[in-house]
Structure 1
Amino acid sequence: MAISVAVPIGETTAQRLIQKLAPKVRALNIGPGTDPDAEMGPLVTKQHLEKVRAYIDAGVAEGAELVVDGRDFKRQGYEDGYFIGGTLFDRVTTDMKIYREEIFGPVLAVARANSYDDAADMINQHEFGNGTAIFTRDGDAAREFAHQIQVGMVGINVPIPVPMAFHSFGGWKASLFGDHHMHGPEGIRFYTKLKTITTRWPTGIRAGAEFVMPTMG
């Protein structure tokens, strides 16, 4: 589960968000998984490292504002590791590759919206519908978002809305393969072979066997 895009509403909110995010992204402690203080480890393969760098290159080429660039990150003693630093983009638009695709790396895209309706439309019109979240102190806005948004997993002030295993886990639209989710009641139904048994016990064997469908008459 990778949170790829943040959608602040209004220029004032967006500016405040960028001012808060930028120093945090720069200060991410990235190191080997054996380091208990590391906040993020290396990427899984050299090929994926190159893929994430290519996403950052694409964001720059398509005109997004690169606020924090993590492509040149090096960890002393692990210079050949598959490390990349935290990266932050601002003023990302819906036609850009870094908005349309999930990167699976420490790259956050900020796509500004003029209104709540614009932000909801951005989410609903996306090809994928895996997970999304709203951060608000307005209960009415949260309730409206939960009902309106076309995404399979929704968080209310919860950043990664992955439910417990006894709930269905999975998204909607192109984020779901097949007809059932992997966990929860749907998963049980998928792996369960249904058998229906209809029984009736006569009052006693002395009455003899009956070979007609019983009725209420």
Structure 2
Amino acid sequence: MAEVAERTEVRRISHWIGGRPAPGASGRSGPVYNPALGVQTGEVDFAAAEEVSQAVAAAKEAFPAWREVSLSRRTELFFRIRELVHDRLDEIAAILTDEHGKVLSDAKGEVQRGLEVIEHVCGIPTLLRGNFSEQASTGIDVYSIRQSLGVVAGITPFNFPAMVPMWMWAPAIACGNTFVLKPSEKDPSASTYVAELLKEAGLPDGVFNVVHGDKVAVDAILEHPDVAAVSFVGSTPIASYIYRTGTSHGKRVQALGGAKNHMVVLPDADIEMAADAAVSAGYGSAGERCMAVSAVVAVGDAADPLVAAIEERLPTVKVGPGTDPESEMGPLITAEHRDKVASYLDSGRDQG
């Protein structure tokens, strides 16, 4: 296994507001760790409601000019963004591995999936076309126009700190909105790095902003009167809270929660193929992805041979730091996550 050098420097990770770094003023912050080493590598500023308001104000100020930028000009800008993200893919992936722990191949795949959305919105002139119906009724023509909303926000999870934000801000900005992102405080650096790339590409100041933090920042976004819409990805209880709170403050809300994905193996299934799929889906990315299999249900006679086939494969899964090219599974993101998984194992043993 490759050696992992221990890092001792602790970086300060600040917000990004109005096209420049904005050091936190709340006096609150949180540690960021390298999960493979268990050492702190960063300290991220936590935003107070006032700092969220500053980000929203910057986005609101940038909106009138940005919404008037032609679709062809937006396309040119997104082609530049696409090239910068593509050229810096390795750097972004390294940040993901450093703060999330996923192996580099998974990190690169994550950035590539986000890049595909950026490539998709390069076709925004076609995607934003409206409809026209002549003579919908006597002497009446009907047409539709797609218009931007204004300031919109994204609240994103720890497990895909580059891809999920790209899924949100790329379409939102391409459609003429301005954006405030609140990434996970566990792995925040990728969002700040991407903010720098967007500025380098020529995105006007204030169109994209990043505020770090916890529930204080989330609530400030959900309650702010100038935020028109919020998109969220995370756990189901939090998704429910986001939806209730956001809609009660008059916002459009897209709240995507988690699920316990089940894999059902019937008696006539190919056991070898099913075992390969179960191990890959259960242990890939340390099980910290939306499509991870949480439960395998073996029906009838499939149970014993499936368990045996899975047991045969598990020792071959190479666990190690994400920077090691031979690693197939990196660490869980925090010690708390590790302890939670250990409690599941203990519970399973206790229940026989």
- TM, length-normalised to structure 2: 0.19
Max radius of gyration: which structure?
A: 1
Q: Which has the higher helix share?
A: 2
